[in-house]
Structure 1
Amino acid sequence: MTGHALLSTYQETEPAPSVGKQLLHADSVLYTKQTETTGPLSHVVTFKLNESAFTLDGIKLPAKMEPVIIDGSSYIWVRDLAGALGATVDWDQAKQAAIYTKKGKTVTFFTTKSSYASGNDERDTLTPAKLYYGATLIPVRLMSEVLGANVQFDDVTKVIKITY
């Protein structure tokens, strides 16, 4: 297969030119070497205010709800953020809280009080989870950092960048 035909195949069937089955089959030894790493793999997620999509490692994905600024902090719908960070989320009706789990770590984000719980340790926060038009929103910085991610916000472009 020529390089042009291979590139065309990537564009039609693969999520990105640097990943996927076609690249693996083109040169499996090189592909395997490129995917080996000496440390943990890093992921980058970007959300833009007033945009109903986000990117995960350069691939654009739909968001169910646009990120918003509330009281000076960036908030994202609980399930969009969980999916972007590779976490699972459940709702605890009795506690009115979103329960996040990632790599065995559980974090409870309460919507009725200004605190969250990491495991059994409850801590106060100035940016609690909120119910917003019937949806649970999570403060991006708090949730990301509690789960071990780094967060940056570009005030000019209104882009939230999460690295984990």
Structure 2
Amino acid sequence: MRWIPFIVSLPIIFLLGADSPSETRNPDIELLQFRSQITSIIEPINASLQGADQFEVAWRLQDSSPQKLFIANDSTAYYQSDGQWKSVLPSGERLPVKQSAKLPEAVKPLISLNLKATERSLTLIEDQKALWTYSLPETNQIRPSTLQYDAAEHIYFQDNNGSWYSLDRNGKERYKLLLQAQDTQLTCKAAPSGDAFCTSPSLGILAVREKINAPRLIIDGKERFFPQRPEIINDRTFVPLRSIFEAMNAKVVWNQETQTVTAVKGNRTIGLTLDSEKALLNGKKIQLDAPPILYQGSTYVPLRFVGEALGATVIWEDATRTIQIIN
């Protein structure tokens, strides 16, 4: 699979100006300037990313007529351009879509939050009480039809200007992509992983994503994106068990009472217990180099175990921090 470096995708995103010695730069705010794709005569589009210490506009791709943007369960974006469907990964790499191919369904996350939206505010209601309220300035209005969530129940919406907002489930701002001029054609969608895609004729397609150092994950030649990312913990690489195993066509069952996971793929049955360095493969005990752990609400297992359990080839590329799994 070909990796597209960000430097190739970013020739048309610039920071506005430079700091003078007397100025104190706010690291939470990044000023952006985009050249319009419609015509070079139009003034550049100015924007600011607030929350830039943790988030970034990771890339921008040219496309003059993006429409019907939606996100699939694997966090791949799909959109129409000149009557043809296209897709792009959160990394910015385009993937071909055959005209005869059946498109995946748009993601519909299961959400426990009960939000009340008014013209200028969002309020979380629980047991008929308001836990928090997030309000916009008087000049801005929330577009309720744009309200959406990712798998971690982060909240996203656009205002009447086209600007894009993200809050955590406690109502705290994560980031804002604020446009200085109105772009009513801008459409933004949040992926289960938390990556966000935005499209419009003037901006093309761009992505806002969290600045993380998690390893890349490639399964059978295709980069995969899950709400739970691989993690380096105590100098070992751990991966989310359910996401990885189900991506490799294994059936996974969790037993809350015994804190055990059973996974079945073909003639292989794997049994694991949280915090135990012993696992079962077709009833035979095998030794793990580290026990499965519960991390951010999901079961994580050592990377090497994936290959041992499912008969896959697992390669760790240290230079690029990439996990290759060949099924």
TM-score (norm 1): 0.65
Residue 256 of structure 2: aligned partner: 93
Task: Report the 3-state secondary structure (helix = DSSP H, G, I; strand = E; otherwise coil) of the residue aligned with 2:275.
Answer: coil
- Number of the residue aligned with 2:315: 152
Inter-CA distance 115–54: structure 2 relative to 1 (3 Å threshold): same
| Contact 1:149-1:162 at 8 Å conserved across structures | yes
2:255 aligned partner, one-letter code? D
**TM-aligned CA deviation for residue 21 of structure 1:** 5.9
2:214 is aligned to 50
Match of 1:27 in 2: none
Percent identity, aligned pairs only, is 26
Structure 2: 5+ residue stretches without partners: 1-80, 89-94, 102-211
Q: How many residues align?
A: 131
CA separation of 1:10/1:131 partners in 2, compared to 1, >3 Å: closer, same or farther? Answer: farther
Residue 85 of structure 2 aligns with an amino acid whose one-letter code is E
The answer (yes or no) to whether the contact 1:82–1:88 under 8 Å persists in 2 is yes
Q: Secondary structure at the match of 1:143?
A: helix
Q: Which residue in the other structure is 2:295 paired with?
A: 132
TM-score, length-normalised on structure 2? 0.35
Change (3 A) 1:163 1:59: closer
- Structure 1, unmatched stretches of 5+, are 1-7, 24-47
TM-fit CA distance, 1:14: 7.8
d(CA) in 1 for partners of 2:84, 2:224: 16
What's the CA shift string for 1:73-121, capped at 9, x where partnerless? 2111122111222212110223312211111311012113111111211
Larger Rg: 2
Give, in angstroms, the shift of residue 130 of structure 1. 0.9
Residue-by-residue CA offset, 1:14-72 (whole Å, 9 max, x unaligned): 8954x75638xxxxxxxxxxxxxxxxxxxxxxxx9626x75444545430111101222
Contact between 2:240 and 2:301, CA under 8 Å: does it hold in 1? yes
Structure 2 CA distance for partners of 1:121 and 1:94, relative to 1, 3 Å: farther
Matched, 1:118 2:286: no
Q: Aligned equivalents of 1:80 and 1:92: distance in 2?
A: 17
Mapped contact 2:219–2:325 kept (Cα < 8 A): no
Distance 1:12 1:56, change over 3 A: farther
Q: Which residue of 2 aligns with 1:42?
A: none
Equivalent residue for 2:229? 66
Asked if the contact 1:14/1:20 (under 8 Å) is kept, the reply is no
- What's the offset of the Cα at 1:132? 1.6
Q: Say which structure is richer in helix.
A: 1
Counterpart AA for 1:99 = T
| Greater relative contact order (CA < 8 Å, ≥ 6 in sequence) | 1
